[in-house]
Amino acid sequence: MAELLQNYFTDGWRERVLECACGWRGDSRAMSMELHGEVTDYSCPSCGSLVLIVSHPSLTQVQEAAAAGHPEAQQHLALLDEARAHFNQDPP
Q: Parse the chain into domains and list their residue ranges.
A: 1-56, 57-92
Give 38-48 pLDDT, tens digit per residue: 999 999 999 99
3-state DSSP assignment of residue 23: coil
User: Residue 91 — very low, low, confident or very high, per pLDDT cuts 50/70/90?
Assistant: low
- The pLDDT > 90 percentage for the chain reads 85
pLDDT per residue as tens digits for the range 28-83: 999 999 999 999 999 999 999 999 999 999 999 999 999 999 999 999 999 998 98
Residue 14 has pLDDT above 90, yes or no: yes
Estimate to the nearest angstrom the gap between the alpha carbon of 19 and the chain centroid: 19
Candidates 31, 36, 61; CA nearest to 47 is 31
